Amino acid sequence: MADISFEDILNMPMEDAKPPQALPPGTYLTIVDGQPEFAKLGANQTDCVNFTLKPMHAGQDVDQKQLKEALDGQALQDKKIRHRLFITNESKHRLRKFLQDDLGISKELPFRQAIMESMGKQVYVKLTHQASQDGTTIYNNVQSTARV
């Protein structure tokens, strides 16, 4: 499915604006899609890096009926999964595990270069569900990652 333009959205009836459904829990083969983005989050403006993962294949532990409902006619590859890792002294080991152990990037590289080299790398992702604070929306949560 092609991206919808700004003009397309402005001309769309509001009743057609439905929230995307979360993918069902389970394991997915994904690929790091595009350059990761650096951001600051929360009241303390904590540094983080957001990896966009494109699911390529759903594992056997994914309920196929739920998956079909969640896709609502889209291809699995049209979905996006955000994997956010904080960049602090206390959490740098999680970033190292993802880059080195799960993506197979050389431990000799500094974090900045390893992050940039993550694009196009494959990784298994175990998804769970998380409710929004007001309980009205279900989001995907990356529970764990593993090397392909």
Tell me how far apart the terminal alpha carbons of the chain are, to the nearest angstrom. 27
User: Per-residue b/e over 65-95, b at no fewer than 16 CB within 10 Å?
Assistant: ebbeebbeeeebeebebebebebeeeeeeeb
Instruction: Give the tokens for residue 29.
Output: 């083969």
- Picking from 58, 38, 61, the residue whose alpha carbon sits closest to that of residue 50 is 38
Tens of pLDDT, residues 102-133: 999 999 999 999 999 999 999 999 999 998 88
Supply 142's token pair: 């990356």
pLDDT for position 145: 98
Q: Is 114 within 8 Å of 106 (Cβ atoms)?
A: yes
Query: pLDDT digits over 21-64, tens only?
Result: 899 999 999 999 999 999 999 899 999 999 999 999 999 999 99
Alpha helices in the chain (DSSP H): 6-10, 64-71, 92-96, 111-116
pLDDT tens track for 72-112: 889 999 999 999 999 999 999 999 999 999 999 999 999 99
- pTM, full prediction: 0.88
pLDDT for the residue numbered 1: 44
